[in-house]
Amino acid sequence: MSLASRSRRGLPLLAAAVLGVLAGDAFAARISRLTPPSELFASGEEAPVIARFLPGQRFDLQATIEPDAGRTIVHFDFFVDNQSTLRPFWVDGELIHDPRERLTSTVTETGPAATCINATTGRTTGASGCALVAGLPANTTVISRRAFSASTPGVHTLRVTARQDDGTTISATGNFEIVGINPESGQVAKNIVIFLGDGMGAAHRTAARIISRGYAQGKAKGLLAMDTFPHTGMVMTASLNSIVTDSAPGMQNYVTGNKANNNEEGVWPDDTRDAFDNPRYEYLSEYLHNLQGKSLGVVTTADVFDATPASMAIHTSARGNGTGIVDQFFDDRDQTGLAVLLGGGRKWFLPNPSDSVSPQPVNGSQRRKTNDYVLGDDIVNGWGVARGVLDPERDLIADFRSAGFRYAPDKSGLDAAFAAGTPDKLLGLFAYSNMNVAYDKIAGRRGDTTVVDAFGFPDQPMLDEMTDAALKVLSKNPNGFVALIEGSSIDKQAHLMDTDRWTLEVIELDRAIAVAKRFAERNPDTLVLVTADHECSGAAIIGAATVSAATLAADPDAGKSVVGIYEAAKFPKYTMAEDGYPETTHIDGKMLIGYGANADRYETWLPSRYPTRDTQQPFPPSQSPANPNVRNEGTGYLVTGQVPGDQAAHTATDIPLSAYGRGSHHFNGVFDNTDVFFKIGQIAIGGAD
């Protein structure tokens, strides 16, 4: 049951409902969606309260109305605690602000009826060129009221009402909560650094410790930098529509306090096709930039349009919309305070002036109109953001430079950017798509440049170097900063079940964490969090090889016959090189990993010479295997998968979060990923006590 009701003017609610039933409407009028999402609307239960906000944090109100057949919606309003959110504001008889005029929109199916409405069912088709998604009554109306905010702590009631052209009124009720901030609770944290080991569960951390620190007689010989953080909690990671999250909601839940659907970032789901018009809610970066003038830094080893980095600043329901995503990073820098953007993904920044008539210069740009953005007046007015333009021809690197960003195309360029002092703003695009992983970058630095050369980018920085550069730039802002630093390929390589590559990704992330820890030691008004968005692959340390590296190599089909469990696993001993990474992962008695969310794979327990294929790269080496289910086919031991598809999947397992610095003691226990946002809000605004 949804808490929706309908009435004709002057008729009691119940009588009107009966009339509706007796009339046998093909589509009885109803409100099929009320946003922010609430359990009160969905099931009638008042708890749990799904949508929560900090005082003054902006969010959109939206409803999908399915009117009676043949009817249209002529008027609507959203009420919070019975107060209209659309009341005009008058001063001395002069209209100062009319929210209805500036902040609302109404979307109906305006596309060609032949394409957009199924003649048989009378429902929307959701086809290309149409306004609404498939399966709705033809006269469905999506109404929005943008950029609402409230400041009184507590649970509030949200009621939407909509009037049809025959006078019938329908309404629905939901709720949301404003989470208060305790003021004057001691010193605040000025700088917030979030390390996100994408896909990094407990096993990933343990594996990196076993390799890089070693164990003796049951004790770790040393700790990872993240192990030294004084407080650790467990995070529940579910998204709005699944117990198993993907990276978009997995990240954005930390920095918005709200649950998103998989594939969506900074928005709730809606019933329009446009991926950029979804109802929004304010990011931590926007909130703290507006409130305190903080800067934003985004550092990743992925393509910068990837779900996790985009989930710091971008509002879209389609995490794949690369052109619009990178444009929004730049266009809304005055809203987010973006000062540092480092990672891969140069292909989205290059001008693509192509047209279908004459050939244009070749540069590998992947910018295109179909994944760019243009916003409506209501969003532009409400949020104060750029409208956007469908402009594949845009030279975004040039735009960043004109706006005062130093641009670094490689490690040498990153060093050069600091030659004449620390720049105020920094853009680094070190690869065409995702950067190479630590395993291959380190091989390149040690002289085996086969893979980095094949990808075309032989001089890529390591994540600790990127972190150091980012913190230098960001700390120039006396108001502080919010930074995301992502080890993205822990996830990508765990999906591919490439053990040798993801374990080094965790080590690379930990070396970056050590940089931030040193920064926080010097700047005690800093909070450093280390966590993940979700676990990936169901990784488990199942033991160690009972044979030498040479024997493993000689018999790659040995499978489980060489897996030493319990005491047979002993303590694998890796030798660390001066660069901070193991000399080799191909050792006698190496640590072995099993995968609980595995797809089919052929396991040899040996390192793969080439990374498994990333089709986004311009020069994918022909030696790269297409997928784990063909990698080592014919040589390895077939491990039958438990999940469909080509790759291992994310899991719903809770993940660890470790905290260091001011306010870190707030992060003990088991909590929801959205709770992290409210803890940060308290520590950054009200105080850390």
Partner 1 sequence: MHALSVSSRLLPGLLLAALSSFVHAHGEAISIPAVAARDVPRALAVRGELKAPPRGVAELKFGEIFRLPVGPQGLEPSEKLASLDGKRVRMVGYLVPLYPPADDRFLLSPLAVDIGHEDESLADNIPPTAVMVQLPTAAGATIPRIPGLIQLTGTLSVGSREDAASGRVSPVQLTLDAPAARTLRRVSRDAAKAAEPRHRH
Neighbours of 96 (CB within 10 A): 9
State which residue, 171 or 434, has the beta carbon closest to partner 1. 434
Out of 38, 239, 247, 475, the active site residue is 247
State which residue, 636 or 687, has the beta carbon closest to partner 1. 636
State which residue, 166 or 633, has the beta carbon closest to partner 1. 633
Distance CA 663, CA 307 (A): 27
Q: Which helix (H) or strand (E) holds 554?
A: helix 549-554
Distance CA 280, CA 61 (A): 9
State which residue, 97 or 560, has the beta carbon closest to partner 1. 560
Binding-site residue numbers are 198, 306, 308, 486, 491, 495, 533-534, 650
DSSP-assigned beta bridge partners for residue 159: 79, 173
CB of 190 to partner 1, least distance (A): 34
Structure tokens, 56: 């003054």
Residue for token pair 């498939």: 134
Residues of this chain that bind partner 1 (CB under 8 A): 125-128, 133-134, 273, 275, 318-323, 346-347, 350, 352-356, 358-366, 368-371, 392, 397, 407, 409-410, 413, 432, 453, 456-459, 600, 602, 613, 615-620, 622, 626, 629, 633-634, 637-638
State which residue, 407 or 571, has the beta carbon closest to partner 1. 407
Strand 169-178 to 4-7 pairing: antiparallel
Specify whether the backbone of 647 is left (phi greater than 0), alpha (psi in -120 to 50) or beta.
beta
CB of 619 to partner 1, least distance (A): 6
CB of 29 to partner 1, least distance (A): 25
Nearest CA among 186, 234, 236, 254 for reference residue 668: 234
Binding-site residue numbers for Mg(2+) are 198, 306, 308, 486
C-alpha 581 chain-centroid distance: 28
Residue 350 DSSP label: S
Binding-site residue numbers for Zn(2+) are 198, 491, 495, 533-534, 650
CB of 315 to partner 1, least distance (A): 16
**Residue 502: helix, strand or coil by DSSP?**
helix
State which residue, 459 or 465, has the beta carbon closest to partner 1. 459
Residue for token pair 């975004």: 396
Structure tokens, 349: 């920044």
CB of 490 to partner 1, least distance (A): 20
CB of 356 to partner 1, least distance (A): 4
Neighbours of 75 (CB within 10 A): 12
Q: Would you say 208 and 503 are in contact if contact means Cβ atoms under 8 Å apart?
A: yes
Residue for token pair 């990153």: 414
- Spell out a b/e string for 643-659, using b for 16 or more CB atoms within 10 Å of the CB, else e: beebbbbbbbbbbbbbb
State which residue, 125 or 191, has the beta carbon closest to partner 1. 125
- Told to judge if 247 belongs to the known catalytic residues of this protein, a careful annotator would answer yes
Cα angle, residue 493 at apex, residues 322 and 261 outer, rounded to 5°: 50
Residue for token pair 């030294």: 228
Q: DSSP string covering 31-53, please?
A: EEEEES--HHHHHS---S---EE
CB of 12 to partner 1, least distance (A): 41
C-alpha 276 chain-centroid distance: 15
Strand 563-564 to 539-545 pairing: antiparallel
Residue 685 DSSP label: I
Positions marked catalytic: 247
